[in-house]
Amino acid sequence: MMNILCVFLLLIGSWLIFLNWRCFYVAFIKKQPSPSWIPLLGGILVFLGFYFFPGNPMSSLAWLAFLIDWGSLPGIGHAIVYHQLRRN
């Protein structure tokens, strides 16, 4: 049962990560209006699915989900820098 839950979390989280990167691509590469990205949710779901997957010897690397997801550390870091530069 835990395997099914973890796979479900990984699939949904991966889909959200894909959508967040698509927003990045549309906004910064294609320079077109983009829908808003979903902060943290994709990274959290992939983290939980990877960390709690039974028998996973690599579960200590689950934190990498927050680096892979544009809606987590990269996107939030970009937003902070953007607003700080815009303020000055």
Q: What is the pLDDT of residues 68-79, one digit of tens each?
A: 999 899 989 988
C-alpha distances (whole Å) from 51 to each of 9, 10, 18, 62, 66 are 11, 10, 20, 5, 13
pLDDT of residue 88: 72
Contact indicator for 24, 56 with CB cutoff of 8 Å:
no
pTM passes above 0.75: yes
pLDDT of residue 26: 95
Q: Which domain holds residue 69?
A: 2-87
Contact indicator for 53, 3 with CB cutoff of 8 Å:
yes
Structural domain count of the chain: 1
The segments of the chain whose pLDDT lies below 50 read: none
pLDDT of residue 37: 84
